[in-house]
Each structure stands twice: as C-alpha cells, then as structure tokens.
Amino acid sequence: MSFDDIIGQEKIKKKLEFFLAAQKVSFISPNILFVAPRGCGKTLMAQTYASKLVTKEGKKRSQFVVNCSVLKSLRTFVDEVLEPILRTSEATLFFDEASEIPEDVRMALLTILNPNKENKNRFTYGDRNFDIDFKRFTFLFATTEPHKIPAPLADRLERIDLEEYSINNLAAIVKKSVSQEISEAALIEISKVLRGNARKAMQMANHINSYLATSKVKLFGMKDWKDFSSKMGILPLGLSPLELKILKTLAEKPETTLTSLSAKTFMTRQSLQRDLENYLQRLNLIEVTPTGRKLTIHGREYLEGVKV
C-alpha cells in the first residue's frame, strides 16, 4: 500500500512522508497517535506508514498489531507482545483501539516511551529487563476516543488528526472502487449519504457493484441511483431509520425532553446522546437545549422532503 493509493488526507500524508524521509537517515520515527472518527482511515494510514519504515539495511521492518480491546493485563502485554517484538532485530508495534489499553499497560508505556536524548529506555518487569532502542522500534497508536488517552501518555506521542473527508474525496473513493462508469451527478448524490466516512464509501461501492452485477447498466446514472437507493432503503443525507424516527418524534411538539424522547423511541438516554444525536446536530436538523430537544428549520424542511 502506498500513500498515493489513499484518497484525501493530503496534509497528513505530507507530514508522514517527512517523518519517513527523516527515518531513512536517522532510523528514528516519532511514536505516533492517529486520531479520527470510526471509518475515516486511521488504521489504514497507520499501517501504511508502518509498512514504509525501514531497517538499517533498508529492508521493511516487521509489524506487530495489538488489538487493545483484548489486551487484558501487563503480564499479557509483556509475555505476548513485548518479548516477541524484542526478539526481532527491528519492528513497529501498532496499538489499535488505544483507548482500551489497560491501566497497568499504560503505566508501563510511560516508562517505555519516555523521551530522552539517548532515544533508549529500559523497562523492568519482575526479574526481566527490556531495552527499548527507538532506532530499532517504533510505537504507533490509533483511537476514536483521544480523551480516554491519559495526558502523560498522549504527551509522549506525536498526535495526527485525520481530516474530514470532503464530498469530492468520497466521490473519488466510490468512483475508484465501482466496476462501471458513474455519472458525476450520481456520484455527488451518493457522496451526500456517506456521512463523511471513507469506510461507508467502500461499503457503498461494494453494494453498487452487486447491483451492477444483476443489471445491464453501462453508465450508473441518477435513475439507477434512485432505483438502487429505493431498494436499499437509503434516506437523504444518509440518516438511519432511528434518526428519522427522532425527527418525527420531535415534530410532534415544539420541544421534547430527553426522557420523553427516550420513552418514545425505546432508546436509552445514553444511546440517544452518544450514538444518534451527534449527526443530527452536525447537520443542523435538531437543536439541543438545557430543557430538551427540538427540530430546527432545516429539520422540518428535511421531513417535508422525505417520503417515508
């Protein structure tokens, strides 16, 4: 995988290319924290960066991926992660879902990643000593929840915040991944329902390829998009049925309390706040006030235009 294969994120790619050029000379890369919402390519970006880090002999480094959600304890980290990578000559260690790193492992990482002019640290566990040389090892992290990364650990890392994908970026991803030609008008409409999410763009491209496999369409245009979106139940702006239900519920009264909205939608207050309201607020379809929730003018216009 090359950075050229990744659509968008131009500023980020330029910064990472700078780090890579320096690593080829100094053999030291910053230890990096990649931050982005789900589906926006942080794991792909981190793994692409890792694949370009080289050994002193100019060969590709070994890569180790740690799913932090299944990392249970410091002992597991030492036995199953740290010891294996230190048996290799040079390696890159990637912590996915870094917000889930256990507390005792976080404390160990404070010692392991402590910056100093020698670019080396020693970590001791029981009677075992582990020497970490940053010319040999690089640590990468990715998270959707940077607020859960303790400040002392975050301060030891170079933070990379991925940019939001534009409509044009998403259109380019879909166009690149679909087997047939797509009209520009259809591409724009498709991109509007992808919620700024590159992963959803790939999923959409796969669904369109399935649609094309069962039809004789040579150019996927607006008529095909309307037929496809009708069959798939795709709502304008990519809203989910639950988000639409929230809008319809709020249309019944000038203002609705969170408790009442929870009761009417059969969703918990926490789920409404964490999973459903954010996108509606981002699109300015609803307004959250100290006393409740209410539709905006844009929200009412949206409901008037949706035929469900």
Burial label, 305 (beta-carbon count in 10 A; 0-12, 13-18, 19+): exposed
Say how many C-beta atoms besides its own lie within 10 A of residue 253's C-beta.
13
Read off the amino acid at residue 47. Q
Using only C-alpha atoms, what is the Rg of the chain? 24
pLDDT for 211: 94
Nearest residue to 285 (alpha-carbon basis) of 225, 228, 238, 215: 238
Query: CA–CA separation, 250 vs 112, rounded Å?
Result: 51
Residue 82 and residue 132 in contact, taking contact as beta carbons nearer than 8 Å? no
Which residues are within 8 A (CB) of 72 and not within 5 positions of it... i.e. 6 or more apart?
Answer: 102
| Residues shown for the chain | 308
In the chain, CATH 3.40.50.300 sits at 3-161
Q: Residue 150: phi, psi to the nearest 5?
A: -55, 140
Query: CA–CA separation, 121 vs 100, rounded Å?
Result: 24
Query: CA–CA separation, 152 vs 178, rounded Å?
Result: 44
pLDDT for 307: 67
- How do 62-67 and 91-96 pair as beta strands? parallel
Burial label, 151 (beta-carbon count in 10 A; 0-12, 13-18, 19+): exposed
Query: CA–CA separation, 92 vs 108, rounded Å?
Result: 17
In the chain, CATH 1.10.10.10 sits at 238-305
Read off the amino acid at residue 291. T
Token pair in block for residue 124: 């001791």
- 3.40.50.460, 3.40.50.720, 1.10.8.60, 2.60.40.10: which CATH number matches 167-234? 1.10.8.60
Domain formed by 3-161, architecture: 3-Layer(aba) Sandwich (3.40)
pLDDT for 218: 87
pLDDT for 39: 83
Token pair in block for residue 302: 């949206």
pLDDT for 291: 87
Domain formed by 238-305, architecture: Orthogonal Bundle (1.10)
**β-bridge partners, 32:** 140, 158
Residue with tokens 């926490």: 270
In the chain, CATH 1.10.8.60 sits at 167-234
pLDDT for 308: 54
Q: In tens digits, what is the pLDDT along the chain, a chain of 308 residues? A: 678 888 989 999 999 999 999 999 999 999 999 999 888 889 999 999 999 999 989 899 989 999 998 898 999 999 999 999 888 889 999 999 999 999 999 999 999 999 999 999 999 999 999 999 999 999 999 999 999 999 999 999 999 999 888 999 999 999 999 989 999 999 999 999 999 899 999 999 999 999 999 888 889 999 999 999 999 999 999 999 999 999 999 999 999 999 999 999 999 998 898 888 989 999 999 999 888 999 999 999 999 988 65
pLDDT for 89: 85
- Crossing angle between the packed helical segments 42-52 and 10-26, to the nearest 10 degrees: 30
pTM for this prediction = 0.84
Which residues are within 8 A (CB) of 183 and not within 5 positions of it... i.e. 6 or more apart?
Answer: 219, 220, 221, 222
